[in-house]
């Protein structure tokens, strides 16, 4: 019998385990968005002095990692693991970003859910006594994502209204068994949920059932209810996916209406920035967590947050072969008080 596993999919963290520092670096478009004041750095152009979009994304993550470490007051030697991932094939942004760091790496792929996947795993590694400190970080880049998943930037095509805008940015956190919060208290690992959506311009609808499934499972596993939270936030469902998710959760008897939102909704100004359904990408939930959520928890505006990273696990190959889009969502409970 596992001692820390509760319910079907949830782990209860037994020892105090804090986020001790965060950092986020974003692109110019995100810098013009509503959350601009929460980011550490806004770069001036998407290439950031590099020769390719992929290199630029790698640099985003490299600089983010070094900021996280600097702000934590730890040294490189104190870091036992980096858990990181991105959207590019074989996670190249990650691999090149941490190449020189000399820290043990677990490269992760959870599509846009990678931020909560990495923190969930990091929390379990530390709570299991296998590490003291771990850096969890992800990145995405609009240009490298368009190039890999969609069309060249200069192609004159239109985006349908359900399409989302990949966030250019990298965000991450340092987890530590010493610290004063916010604490990670529960990790609800998602399972793949697929309702047969095939339209890769409608990722929000593809992921919403997975997000709803994880949120409902989390409540059932932990015995918590929406009243125990002052913020429930999904990763990158966008405005349409957000509405679908709320509706599915509601149908199962949980009213999350007043406290539920989505990072993809917050990250851009939908009307002014022509981003259609909202933000997406690993960076979307990462920079929102590292910026807005963490800082507002520190200020005490939020004390109990359910953070649910959402991922659409498709590839261009699977999409061309007519496969539907498998969705996944991983939930984390962040609390200012432990236990």
Partner 1 sequence: MLGYINAFIIGGFICAIGQLLIDKTKLTPARILVLFVTIGTVLAALGIYQKIVDVGGAGATIPLTGFGYSLAKGAMKDVDQYGLLGAFTGGIRASAVGITAAVFFGYLISVAFTPKAKR
Partner 2 sequence: MQKLYTNKEYLDHVEKEAPKSKVARNIVRAFFVGGFICIIGQFLNNILAQQGIGKDAASNITVLIMVFLGAFFTGINIYDDIGRFAGAGSIVPITGFANSIVSPAMEFKSEGYVTGVGARMFFIAGPVLVYGISASVVAGILHYLITLSR
Q: Which residues make up the interface to partner 1 (CB under 8 A)?
A: 27-29, 45-47, 142-143, 151-155, 157-158, 160, 168, 199, 201
Q: Taking CB under 8 A as the rule, does residue 231 contact partner 2?
A: no
Q: Taking CB under 8 A as the rule, does residue 93 contact partner 2?
A: no
Q: Taking CB under 8 A as the rule, does residue 217 contact partner 2?
A: yes
- State in angstroms the smallest separation of the CB of 250 from partner 2: 11
Q: Which stretch binds partner 2 (CB under 8 A): 90-98, 174-182, 190-198, 223-231?
A: 190-198
CB 117 within 8 A of CB 138: no
The residue (of 150 and 298) whose beta carbon lies closer to partner 2 is 150
Q: In this chain, which of 45, 154, 258, 271 binds partner 2, going by CB under 8 A?
A: 154
Q: Which stretch binds partner 2 (CB under 8 A): 50-58, 73-81, 88-96, 130-138?
A: 50-58
Tell me the Cα Rg of the chain.
18
Question: Among partner 2, partner 1, none, what does residue 197 contact (CB within 5–8 Å per kind)?
Answer: partner 2
What stretch of H or E contains 317?
A: helix 316-320
- Taking the CB of residue 129, how many other CB atoms lie within 10 A of it? 9
- State in angstroms the smallest separation of the CB of 34 from partner 2: 20
- State in angstroms the smallest separation of the CB of 338 from partner 2: 30
Q: Taking CB under 8 A as the rule, does residue 195 contact partner 2?
A: yes
C-alpha distance from residue 40 to each of 21, 30, 60, 68, 200 (Å): 12, 12, 12, 10, 32
Report which of 265, 267, 271 is spatially closest to residue 245, judged by C-alpha positions. Answer: 265
Q: What is the dihedral of CA 332, 334, 335, 336, to 10 degrees?
A: 170
The residue (of 27 and 122) whose beta carbon lies closer to partner 1 is 27
For residue 79, the Cα-to-chain-centroid distance in whole angstroms is: 21
Q: Taking CB under 8 A as the rule, does residue 209 contact partner 2?
A: yes
Q: Where are the alpha helices (DSSP H) in 223-293?
A: 238-251, 263-266, 270-273, 282-288
């Amino acid at each position: 019998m596992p001692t820390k596993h509760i319910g079907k999919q949830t782990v209860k963290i037994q020892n105090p385990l804090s986020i001790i520092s965060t950092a986020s670096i974003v692109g110019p478009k995100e810098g013009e968005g509503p959350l601009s004041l929460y980011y550490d750095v806004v770069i001036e152009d998407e290439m950031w002095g590099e020769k390719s979009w992929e290199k630029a994304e790698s640099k985003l993550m490299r600089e983010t990692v070094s900021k996280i470490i600097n702000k934590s007051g730890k040294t490189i030697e104190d870091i036992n693991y980096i858990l990181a991932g991105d959207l590019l094939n074989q996670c190249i942004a990650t691999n090149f970003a941490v190449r020189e760091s000399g820290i043990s790496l677990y490269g992760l792929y959870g599509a846009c859910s990678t931020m909560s996947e990495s923190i969930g795993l990091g929390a379990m590694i530390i709570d299991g006594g296998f590490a003291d400190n771990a850096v969890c970080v992800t990145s995405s880049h609009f240009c490298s994502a368009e190039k890999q998943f969609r069309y060249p930037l200069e192609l004159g095509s239109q985006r349908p209204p359900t399409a989302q805008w990949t966030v250019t940015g990298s965000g991450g956190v340092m987890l530590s068994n010493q610290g004063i919060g916010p604490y990670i208290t529960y990790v609800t690992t998602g399972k793949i949920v697929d309702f047969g959506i095939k339209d890769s311009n409608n990722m929000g609808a593809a992921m919403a059932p997975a997000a709803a499934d994880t949120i409902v499972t989390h409540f059932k596993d932990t015995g918590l209810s929406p009243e125990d939270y002052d913020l429930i936030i999904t990763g990158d469902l966008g405005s349409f996916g957000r509405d679908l998710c709320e509706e599915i959760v509601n149908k199962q008897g949980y009213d999350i209406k007043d406290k539920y939102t989505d990072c993809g909704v917050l990250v851009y100004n939908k009307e002014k920035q022509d981003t259609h359904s909202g933000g997406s990408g690993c960076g979307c939930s990462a920079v929102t967590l590292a910026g807005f959520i963490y800082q507002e928890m520190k200020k005490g505006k939020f004390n109990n947050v359910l953070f649910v990273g959402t991922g659409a696990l498709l590839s261009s190959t699977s999409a061309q072969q007519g496969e539907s889009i498998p969705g996944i969502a991983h939930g984390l409970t962040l609390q200012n008080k432990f236990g």
